[in-house]
Structure 1
Amino acid sequence: MLIEEGYIQLENYFLDGTKIEANANRYTFVWKKNVDRYKTNLQTKIQDLLDEIDEVEKEEMNLYQGNDLEELGENRQVSTKQLDETISYLEQRLEKEPENKSLKKAVKKIRSDYLPRLERYEDQQSVFQGRNSFSKTDHDATFMRTKDDHYQNGQLKPCYNLQVGTENQFIVGYSVHQRPGDTKCMSPHLDQLNSNLGKLPKSIIADAGYGSEENYAYLETNARKAYVKFNTFHREQSKKWKNDISKVENWSYDEQKDEFICANNRRLTFQYETTEETETGYEITKRNYKCSDCDGCPLREQCTKSATGRTVSISPKLLAYKQQARDLLWGEEGRKLSIQRSVEIESVFGHLKENRAFRRFLLRGLPKVSVEVGLLSLAHNLIKKAAVCVRQSLDKSMDKTFPLSA
């Protein structure tokens, strides 16, 4: 409706994220590192107990599809299904040897303690789905740092990461994520926007939280202008950064020889290439360079702390994307959009959090939370549209009262 009536044109899309507290207990949380550690310790206890039974009974238990326990090595992992089969096997042996106290004690220990704990840890690990934490009262909520206390010191609360895109201060698209950071939320958010509207806006304007190689590549693939800052964009303008001889950005590059030249005119030659893969499957190729002439360099202490000489790992694609971002952001249109971004998206968050007092979700679970944000976005857009209509009608009445000819 907003597109049809001309309120938005899908020209410039201002994207940003904010954390909204979940409707969950703030103190009942589960951390992945703790669960992994507890499960590892439990696996060790289980294996020790099974090995002890084997040693006492002087016979092998055929529990792992015909493999002996010794053949599985030190990193054996027992699942709940295997442990349940183990108990069944031990109980069968106990029926034949009812006087075997050590076996009876082992069966009781596994049945009443080890098996329930292992089931709980496996259930918890299935909930994480790539996250580091979740709330016990809302499994979809992740613990994130917030800044809504009066000291602004970053409290840890169960939250959702709300991504919002605006144009003319209307909410054009939104998505709810379980990741604390904004970087990996851009492509899923824009995919959802494309699915809803059938196309993407021509230009994407976002802050440094979105400036990754994968995001730049995504926007390039979709032929969209990327007015997206990277993490060092503003620091590069400082005098301290420009005078820092350790920064690769302050060096020169010899394209013909594929060598970087440091501040002391010593060359870093190409050594080898490495490839990293992100969670989404995007491959980042890095070229590694090393200086073989660092000995005796008077600037070495300012350049590197390595005892073997200065090495750098460079992604050529990221360097090119950063330069494209600089050219766009420092252009006349880029400066204008950067100033407009702070007015566009921050005012919308101000309306949502302050004027609407929406700082905590009422519902639990990602699907219900998404519906809640959708209703809130509809309300915001209707109120905004009403305000624009009132302003337009007032302008028309003022023109009739005070015509320009007068």
Structure 2
Amino acid sequence: MILFSFSRSVMTSRKIEKFAEKNIVARWFTQYQGPSYRTICRFRISDEIETLLDDSYKKYVIPYSTMLKENSKKWKTDEKKVMNWNYYEDDDYYINPQGVRFSFNAYRIRTDKYGFKRYFKKYISEIFDDDHNRIPQAFTPGGNRKRIYINPSLEYFKAGMRSKLSIPQYADIYARRKNDVEPVFGNMKTCLGFKRFHVKGLNKVKKEMMIVVMALNIRKLVSMSFFICIFREQKSSMWNFFKFTSNF
């Protein structure tokens, strides 16, 4: 009944209680018992909600924003991209295609306008070679030493997703969905009217998100079955027409 209410853009527990009293289908789901909003609220944040989803639904395979670009030939042959440089983990330094070494210098913290902090590792170019000669490629056009900033946390998750998508099992899962995730959130806001969470706490939010996703999938299945029925009716009517005309 909760899934049906969410698919009808009825989200809060009090509205679900009124919806269960007035809607015929909702009354059939509840067997005319009419649960109170307190019962509905306790159930939607209970552990039983997790049993509604199979473990396969929890396997996410979502590439990061630049993954498709990084797999392109143009990206892999670009000498300016740090991912194409040689990295030596033992001494923690990079060497670019020009042979300039970028050694670790310090840790840096960047804070955006929302207060979110990102931690970077700063690498700075070595300006002298083994013969103590000055390296012109180690400087910018302005005469400053070149620097690069690496986000270790981001690189860790990127490497994990790349390794996951290299497995045929997960690659097959992602092959079934080539679209981005933005249309899903758009459908939640437009079709379901879901624009904010109605519970507090990360664990409760996850459970409510499960309900919303399942309600959205139910709407899609209903729409697909409707169009399939129309297609079959049109196909059968055309077949009957051809059989009728073939008698003449």
TM-score by length of 2: 0.48
- Between Structure 1 and Structure 2, which shows a larger proportion of helix residues? 2
- Between Structure 1 and Structure 2, which shows a larger proportion of strand residues? 1
Q: Whose Rg is larger?
A: 1
